[in-house]
Structure 1
Amino acid sequence: MNLQLLETKIDALIEISENLADENKVLRQNQIELMSERDTLLEKNAVACSRIEDMLTRLKAMEINL
């Protein structure tokens, strides 16, 4: 194998490695953003469930008073 071919292949591997590192960085950032969004949605869901439970309790109390 001549030296020029080896150098070309190494350069190609370096470029692939750099591209993968960039893609990995973007994917990690997306994961962080999605996890943050998930946490926010879980919190909103918990608040909504609590409000629904409170409404059901009030409705049951109103039903008993009728």
Structure 2
Amino acid sequence: MSDYSVEELVRLEQRIEQLLRQHERLREENRLLREAQEQLQADRAALQEKNELARSQIESMISRLKAMEQ
């Protein structure tokens, strides 16, 4: 095997190691993004629930006020 082939193999090995490290970074980033998305969805659901409760309370107050006027 010539020196050139050994150098090529070393470069190839380094490139593979670089790609493996990048793959692991991307997997971790993806995991974190999925967790953040799940949290945002949970927060959104909680806000929607609070919004619906507030809407219901306001509608109830309006109904009571209208009843008091009559």
**Unmatched segments (≥5 aa) in structure 1:** none
The equivalent of 2:67 in structure 1 is 61
Identity of aligned residues (%): 45
Query: Aligned residue for 2:38?
Result: 32
Runs of 4+ with deviation above 2 angstroms:
none
Aligned to 1:43: 49
- Provide the C-alpha distance between the structure 2 equivalents of 1:38 and 1:4, rounded to a whole number of angstroms: 51
CA distance in 1, matches of 2:66, 2:15: 74
How far off is 1:25 after superposition?
0.5
Count of residues paired in the alignment: 64
Kindly state the Cα deviation for residue 63 of structure 1 after the two structures are TM-superposed.
1.4
Larger Rg: 2
TM-score under structure 1 length normalisation: 0.91
Segments of structure 2 that go 5 or more residues without pairing to the other structure are: none
